[in-house]
Structure 1
Amino acid sequence: MVSAMSTKQRIKAAVLFHALSDQTRLEILNRLKQGEQCVCELTDALQTGQSRLSFHLRVLKEAGFIRDRPEGRWMYYSLNSEGLEDLEDFVGELKKATAMPGSSKKCE
């Protein structure tokens, strides 16, 4: 039997999926598949202002999907495999649940 998610797990799942619910954030993740990028490179590639981009980067970082590191006056971003593993684990649990037989109770 698949165990019920704890409150902490549900909150984490909500944060993960919220981070993935925006087209700009998905584009950032797609660009970071190519490797680490400076915030200035992302700003140019996405043709957006740095403050708007910083908001999206913060959401992705809080979800654990990306990491940052300062170098001089610039910040560099890369994918975080641990955050991606959290997402993979959650989806894996959902997949396990689909393999389990459904409830035998019928609504009346």
Structure 2
Amino acid sequence: MSNVTLLPVLKPEAVAPCCPPLTERPLTAEEAGPAAAMFKALGDPVRLRLFSAVASHEGGEACVCDISDVGVSQPTVSHHLKKLKEAGLLTSERRGTWVYYRVEPSVLAAMGKVLSPSA
């Protein structure tokens, strides 16, 4: 068996705002788990670029053919998109020969809430 670490597959509700802003109080272990998995998936520069390309693409979704120019091979792009999906950050839909990706609706709100200053 290989020595590969898999990210947990998060359900969309697990990515929903899980915890208070980091400046409000220390996170509990239960709060930190989902947030850490989300940020771990985005910790790779290629994944972050792909996530950004999907999130900022016109219409809120992007065909893999529109976002694959990130300086790595197509199989590597597919690997990174798979990791983003496993972390619950992206959803996908196959249409003919192409796969279209969307940012999971609750993801940006969750990231914003965790990183925003407390009121």
Query: Moved runs in structure 1, 4+ residues, more than 4 A?
Result: none
Identity across matched positions, percent: 29
Structure 1 unaligned residues grouped into runs of 5+: 100-108
Which of structures 1 and 2 has the bigger CA Rg? 1
TM alignment of 1:71-90, pairs within 5 A? 71-90=95-114
Identify which of 69, 93, 96 aligns with 2:93: 69
Greater per-residue helix proportion:
1
In 2, Cα distance between equivalents of 1:41 and 1:81: 20
Report the TM-score when normalising by structure 1: 0.68
- Structure-1 residue corresponding to 2:34: 12
Quote how far apart the aligned CAs of 1:29 are.
Answer: 2.2
After superposition, the CA RMSD in angstroms is 2.2
Q: How many residues align?
A: 93
Q: Which has the higher contact order (CA 8 A, sep 6+)?
A: 2
Task: Give matches, 1:87-106, under 5 Å.
Answer: 87-92=111-116, 95-96=117-118
1:31 to 53, 60, 65: 53
Q: Do the aligned residues in 2 keep the contact of 1:64 with 1:82 (CA within 8 Å)? A: no
